[in-house]
Structure 1
């Protein structure tokens, strides 16, 4: 596959990456990347010195020890909030637009004042260093303020997805033994009031969380014992001096079985990795305006807030639907706020395509410089649409893949090299990534497990109070190597492609294929909007492929259409990989950030326990899968 985007010399030399490379004496990216993984300590020291982080006490070593439990910035002391807010006080830090259209903004100076006020109020309520604080918010100013205020006083934030019901939130609060739950009383989603406070009261009772602090966006009345965010008061105090690996955040991720696992992130980890990736991959500069369509409860919410602020950018926050009250919503916000960076998931892009291109063309997107994408593998058609319709065939798409436990990316695109459709032109600088064969050896030109061979600042400190599960998840397959769980391929030119989760891998008659390959072949049929491929037991082949497909408007399910879709896959991938069944459903189970949950589709199809469903935005899709499987 040939590249679709090429940088020109002027663009290359203007990037933060090139300027940093040049400062280190490099003009060739490949030589720079080798340096970044062969001289890990020197690389990370140089980059964070380049950023000018305000260490209270300088570190003695960047990395001490190897996998599975290394230590980073040993002996160093800082508070991540000082790193995030040490910028010109009059520069714009945050802009928040609600679905109803209300816009509020804070400069760095105003944000610092609010963080100090709220941190003082939290301490007055009895929140102390090391205490856990649940943050149940959509994206907004208070979400960012409370995330920073919690870190300011040395407590540990637990971001909670704004779409959860009470039980899902309570599981996380109880596991962490949270001292306080802060919640926004509600927000609007597609014009409807979502009264989050009612669920928060149930969650507080289930988890036995002592305190409930409420941001009254909808003005819901408080009950006895509940605390009003607006009335927080306390004696201001300097930010707590923290050791480099003192935790500041637990992000809970949903697994296929068992309780959600809390990934532990520390002051000199997650925020610094976010800033590195945003600087070197996305070329986020001081004064740029970053918008990633996400939620505080997903990794990309805190990632955008903390990474963007550390780099002195303006972070744009939005808490509504992307197409409400009309299909122009996203593009109107890009124009109105002069956004420079826009991050969307592939599934969200697929959902935007049927809305047409006229809403895009009707708005001035000239401020946009970089497009971003993460969450799942791409299919070719929506990728090309995003590049052409939104990128105008000139803006690069920085494809980005890693995870919550990584604090950002393992693979990405840098803007000094050509970019191939759906791919990654590099492992992230500082990430010693490789594709491994079944024997654990690095391979090129064949599908294998994506792995990281050496530690990096930002990798989770483990799972909260569950070290054995952490070790089993990442280090049980290849000794001394982080095996991430993604199926990947690296071509001869050094470009990577993610083919899906390795536990989603299909093995039909001895041939391994990623679900994304099957889905890309199927979605080339003009009737399909999106689809999910799963592998099911087969007495002869070992596994057979079943494809669940969502149709575009104007198409109706029929046996003939199912056969045509199956034939399209066979034509693209070969007859052995022809789907055994093609089933039509109105929707696929997805998380709020639009990630398709294939494991749920497979489990429901086979009549098995689908595991934790708390992350689903559309649980009704599960019933549709059941009905289609039984039909």
Structure 2
């Protein structure tokens, strides 16, 4: 079942047996719809109907059923879902499995940077640890609506803390484990966090790194934080001073606790997760996910139904808890009764084949990747062929737009031209997908099968009118959906200004998109990254794809600077492949490749070779930062950068150019 014209050329077309066995096909049967497009049409006309069907199909649990599925009486920006209903993420991800066959199955498998360090927890064992920590948090005064931050590396305790906080009805604030004191402090103060759960330290590339001491510096001016729970990473020799009356070792917090504590019954739209995303200027934006919103969107509608995650799957997405995928890793497999692989460190250390070994040894069936991870692993050649990846059943991708070369490499070398790439795109503010892939639809490089169900996605011009197929436009949402952030934390006016005011009545997401002539959908980069050459708007990903296709570069970022004649001139910031010299000869090759692919008007003003590109913790390249540094302007909020040193190195390169 592909819903597509069979004469259209595709790189991959779903085998009939795969589509027949998919969760999406089962959902179509359950709802009485003939195909995805018919289902999507009904969902757009009646989003409340869709969500009722999702709840029923996926067995979403409520303590008290809702009185009204959807209330838009205050406008789309302030839509309310499951009015009168009560639930909890923990009810749906852990409690419902109690006294079932799932309870004694493996939920979490963990491997440290040293592969000899491994741990495994069944659902029963994991739930016990969640209950014990919840009791410990309750004992120090944590309860409903308190904000509790998690500043931890990838440990089993990180997932335990996530669910323990939610179990009490408190709000989880995930923080990137690579943050320094300043961004931690900004978020703790803005969110008015009452407590932080952290670890003494972690291993990264063979070096032990402190976390608690970094947090201590942030807490020098974070007056709302009254408690810090510190997990021992083990095998570390890090001095960890503890402040009396504030700091408590994890082991002491759970000592003597039996784990029996009730899960808090919360209103369906009570805040559950406060996740910050960086703004182009000013302070970071606090996105608010509620209990029913995240379960109803990313977990069930997007990943289980459209993404085909099954209870027999083992999920692995190399992600820090500070990115939205961290919450996805916690909730998707646990909701479905599947299992999760959690890994400390980086994909290519202590050896460059580590990522592939993890998949092979732990028999991963559902693999998530970002294009950045794939580009990083491509530089090591075809060592992937040395590993048995036969356990893989499905792959998924997200975080940024693909370019053709890494997509094809991943499809050919990892998917073996047989397994689909469920491409997903949404965002922290959306709490789920806007576009998605499915196992029922064909693929082309970087494509999405369809808009996600019931989200109101459209592609429009500057007047808000739908653009024809093959035309690039602004990605918008025509109505609210269940996963959208509930305003911004303490910033209602900023919420309306940021998303609902550019084109009145429409949510403007900030991405350029296109429905291709092949009937598939494409994200073409951030609309504020647009380059206008001789009157023609061009997304940077198109140009970056040409550069990467030369085989000379590991990474490329293209951005525009003002030009008196062309409107914009092109600058290319490039990271050469290992062993490739970033010299004048390579500069000329890359410039000629752009001209050959796009025409003489697109000849770069400058090709700059750098060791790294500024990127966020979820590995998105920050082109606005590159552009601002090049123009010697304020780059805005940099607190979400995973590698702030890349900005200083860029300034040095420009000074020497």
TM-score, normalised with respect to structure 1 = 0.97
- Secondary structure of the corresponding residue to residue 19 of structure 2: helix
Is 1:73 the counterpart of 2:97? The answer is no
Is 1:292 the counterpart of 2:308? The answer is no
Is 1:318 the counterpart of 2:343? The answer is yes
Give the deviation of 1:58 after TM superposition.
0.4
Tell me the alpha carbon deviations over residues 549-598 of structure 1, each in whole angstroms, 9 at most, x when there is no partner.
Answer: 11112322233321221121111112222212111112111223322111
Counterpart of 2:42 in structure 1 is 35
Distance 1:623 1:211 in 2: 35
Distance 1:311 1:472 in 2: 37
Counterpart of 1:529 in structure 2 is 554
Q: 2:63–2:86: 8 Å Cα contact kept in structure 1?
A: yes
Give the deviation of 1:271 after TM superposition.
2.8
1:157 corresponds, among 160, 172, 187, to 172
Distance 1:27 1:105 in 2: 42
Distance 1:539 1:629 in 2: 21
Q: 1:485–1:502: 8 Å Cα contact kept in structure 2?
A: yes
Distance 2:517 2:590 in 1: 32
Is 1:130 the counterpart of 2:145? The answer is yes
Counterpart of 1:210 in structure 2 is 226
Map 1:187-202 to 2 at 5 A.
187-202=202-217
Q: 2:171–2:274: 8 Å Cα contact kept in structure 1?
A: yes
Q: 1:181–1:204: 8 Å Cα contact kept in structure 2?
A: no
Distance 2:344 2:9 in 1: 38
Map 1:176-255 to 2 at 5 A.
176-208=191-223, 209-218=225-234, 220=238, 221-225=240-244, 226-233=247-254, 236-255=260-279
1:437 corresponds, among 451, 456, 461, to 461
Q: 2:573–2:608: 8 Å Cα contact kept in structure 1?
A: yes
1:58 corresponds, among 61, 65, 69, to 65
Distance 1:563 1:623 in 2: 26
Give the deviation of 1:627 after TM superposition.
2.6
- Secondary structure of the corresponding residue to residue 27 of structure 1: coil
Give the deviation of 1:306 after TM superposition.
1.2
Q: 2:51–2:296: 8 Å Cα contact kept in structure 1?
A: no
Counterpart of 2:362 in structure 1 is 337
Give the deviation of 1:124 after TM superposition.
0.2
Counterpart of 1:590 in structure 2 is 615
Distance 1:321 1:558 in 2: 30
Distance 1:584 1:23 in 2: 54
Q: 1:272–1:307: 8 Å Cα contact kept in structure 2?
A: no
Tell me the alpha carbon deviations over residues 145-182 of structure 1, each in whole angstroms, 9 at most, x when there is no partner.
Answer: 11111111111111000000111111100111111111
2:106 corresponds, among 65, 69, 92, to 92
Counterpart of 1:45 in structure 2 is 52
- Secondary structure of the corresponding residue to residue 214 of structure 1: strand
Counterpart of 2:403 in structure 1 is 379
Counterpart of 1:547 in structure 2 is 572
Distance 1:492 1:380 in 2: 17
Is 1:500 the counterpart of 2:516? The answer is no
- Secondary structure of the corresponding residue to residue 555 of structure 2: strand
CA RMSD, 1 decimal: 1.5
Map 1:477-492 to 2 at 5 A.
477-492=502-517
Tell me the alpha carbon deviations over residues 476-505 of structure 1, each in whole angstroms, 9 at most, x when there is no partner.
Answer: 111111110001111244311111101111
Distance 1:199 1:566 in 2: 43
Tell me the alpha carbon deviations over residues 46-95 of structure 1, each in whole angstroms, 9 at most, x when there is no partner.
Answer: 11111112210001222110421100111100111010012221122211
Q: 1:278–1:307: 8 Å Cα contact kept in structure 2?
A: yes
Give the deviation of 1:222 after TM superposition.
4.4
Counterpart of 1:348 in structure 2 is 373
Tell me the alpha carbon deviations over residues 28-50 of structure 1, each in whole angstroms, 9 at most, x when there is no partner.
Answer: 22212212222211111011111
Q: 1:75–1:243: 8 Å Cα contact kept in structure 2?
A: yes
Q: 1:522–1:565: 8 Å Cα contact kept in structure 2?
A: yes
Is 1:269 the counterpart of 2:288? The answer is no
Give the deviation of 1:265 after TM superposition.
1.0
Q: 1:159–1:250: 8 Å Cα contact kept in structure 2?
A: yes
Tell me the alpha carbon deviations over residues 517-536 of structure 1, each in whole angstroms, 9 at most, x when there is no partner.
Answer: 11111222232222100110
Tell me the alpha carbon deviations over residues 251-301 of structure 1, each in whole angstroms, 9 at most, x when there is no partner.
Answer: 011112101111111111123312121112321001210111111011111
Counterpart of 1:465 in structure 2 is 490
1:365 corresponds, among 372, 375, 389, to 389
Q: 2:364–2:391: 8 Å Cα contact kept in structure 1?
A: yes
1:105 corresponds, among 120, 132, 138, to 120
- Secondary structure of the corresponding residue to residue 361 of structure 1: helix
Distance 1:253 1:513 in 2: 26
Q: 1:99–1:324: 8 Å Cα contact kept in structure 2?
A: yes
TM-score, normalised with respect to structure 2 = 0.94
Give the deviation of 1:441 after TM superposition.
0.7
- Return 570-579 or 531-540, whichever deviates more: 570-579
5+ long unaligned stretches in structure 1 = none
1:148 corresponds, among 158, 163, 166, to 163
Q: 1:293–1:593: 8 Å Cα contact kept in structure 2?
A: no
Q: 2:201–2:233: 8 Å Cα contact kept in structure 1?
A: yes
- Secondary structure of the corresponding residue to residue 268 of structure 1: helix
Counterpart of 1:280 in structure 2 is 305
Give the deviation of 1:201 after TM superposition.
1.1
Is 1:22 the counterpart of 2:29? The answer is yes
Distance 2:533 2:106 in 1: 54
Aligned length: 630
Distance 1:307 1:332 in 2: 23
Counterpart of 2:3 in structure 1 is none
- Return 216-225 or 30-39, whichever deviates more: 216-225
Map 1:573-584 to 2 at 5 A.
573-584=598-609
Give the deviation of 1:612 after TM superposition.
2.0
- Secondary structure of the corresponding residue to residue 269 of structure 1: helix
Distance 2:388 2:583 in 1: 42
- Return 311-320 or 482-491, whichever deviates more: 311-320
Counterpart of 1:5 in structure 2 is 12
